[in-house]
Amino acid sequence: MSAVRPTHWSMSQFPVIDNCLHIGGMPLTQLAARIGQTPFYAYDRRLLDERVTLLRSRLPSAIELHYAVKANPMPAVVQHLAGLVDGLDVASLGELSVALDTGMDPAEISFAGPGKRLPELTAAIAAGITINLESAGELENVARLGHALGRQPRVAVRVNPDFELKASGMKMSGGPKPFGVDAEQVPTLLRRIGQLDLNFRGFHIFSGSQNLRAEALIDAHDRTFELALRLAADAPAPVRMLNIGGGFGIPYFPGDTPLDLEPVAANLNHWLPKVKEELPEAHVVLELGRYLVGEAGIYVAEVIDRKVSRGHTFLVTNGGLHHHLAASGNFGQVVRKNYPVVVGNRVVGDEREVVSVVGPLCTPLDILADRMELAKAGVGDLIVVFQSGAYGLTASPARFLSHPACVEVLV
């Protein structure tokens, strides 16, 4: 007997009415007409609201939620989320400017990322946001620029922990890393912060991304709190901010199941009294990107050609890896797997067939779905890639092959 092939988690966040996917309260075909072009990304504000509500209802109320803008920096999305979350985390001057445009209190914006350029540091100090320091060299630059500007920079130390997030899609910590200051070097850095004219805020400890296993997140949180409490002993001022990272994943591939928030929340509840006791001024921050926006977005491309090559049917679309690198399997995946894909205007279909959906680029990497069973589709049909609200357009090589630009809408 052959093993049961794993399937995609059901994408029930978008209703299907009369066999057509609906988003933002309208049929996909109507939305495509309204936008006036394919391909496009569409993000659903109702789903953004629901996701934040879910987190607020499950997590301890003392946990502050930040949005990591790099997951989806579309200004309308960031603006919408700014009204729902407690803070924004940015990773470049461009993201900082989008974040400041929302009207979010600069005290609730932080800036992480290696290799911050001097104009970026200057802008961050002038704006009054918190700079998550990534190295000793950056610390000296920040102090010097603050002095020149006549403003005391707000700084936190981004720590490269001495552990890593197990089963994480993308490891961001443990061992030698370009991110953060090695935990063992942090005490020296803290002493130096105390010698300079800086407003010390606390710690930022981010250990990984795209985790679907509660036990792994719990393990990371345990070690993060232990590490933060240990490092706080050398802090030059009370810890006011403890950013414990994010790492909450969403189901992309066959066999993936959603993260169970309950045990993660229970563990945070277990830690918070101890943190309150030892670091009474600390706000505990969870910074989430993908988990907030990923499931709220779809990518839509139109079938331009249908061809059969040696018995294998290809749907050739006007969209592909130049807009959606991650769905093509080339954004950090080791083994290519299909994102959940449907024919949006014919979700179930009377006839179904196994096809590959490809883009227009002259490279065999330009695949949106590899041998997937879909409703039988032809020219003009709309291919939908779910779970596309995070690391989509801005994580893709848009200029590769000089095709027309993709557009984005928030509905």
Ligand X SMILES: *Cc1c(COP(=O)(O)O)cnc(C)c1O
Q: Which residues bind ligand X (CB under 6 A)?
A: 68, 70-71, 89, 112, 206, 209-210, 245-247, 287-291, 390
Omega into 176 within 30° of 0, i.e. cis? Answer: no
Residue 218 CB coordination number (10 Å): 17
CB contact at 8 A, 191 and 200: no
Nearer to ligand X, 256 or 366 (CB): 256
**Minimum CB–partner distance for residue 259 and ligand X (Å):** 11
Q: One-letter amino acid identity for 233?
A: A
**Minimum CB–partner distance for residue 170 and ligand X (Å):** 7
**Minimum CB–partner distance for residue 338 and ligand X (Å):** 20
Whole-number Cα distances in Å, 306 to 20, 40, 81, 311, 313? 21, 20, 39, 13, 7
Name the token pair of 312: 């294998």
Nearer to ligand X, 243 or 356 (CB): 243
**Minimum CB–partner distance for residue 197 and ligand X (Å):** 26
The Cα angle at residue 156 between residues 153 and 159, in degrees rounded to 5: 150
Rounded Cα–Cα distance for residues 28 and 301 (Å): 11
Nearer to ligand X, 120 or 287 (CB): 287
Nearer to ligand X, 246 or 340 (CB): 246
Output the residue with the shortest Cβ distance to ligand X: 289
**Minimum CB–partner distance for residue 387 and ligand X (Å):** 12
Question: Across 194-311, where does the E strand assignment appear?
Answer: 199-205, 208-209, 241-243, 283-288, 297-309
**Minimum CB–partner distance for residue 294 and ligand X (Å):** 8
**Minimum CB–partner distance for residue 327 and ligand X (Å):** 16
Nearer to ligand X, 8 or 70 (CB): 70
Nearer to ligand X, 169 or 187 (CB): 169
Rounded Cα–Cα distance for residues 42 and 24 (Å): 9
User: Could you tell me which of 298, 293, 340 has the C-alpha nearest to residue 319?
Assistant: 298
Nearer to ligand X, 359 or 392 (CB): 392
Strand ranges across the sheet with 26-27: 16-17, 20-23, 26-27
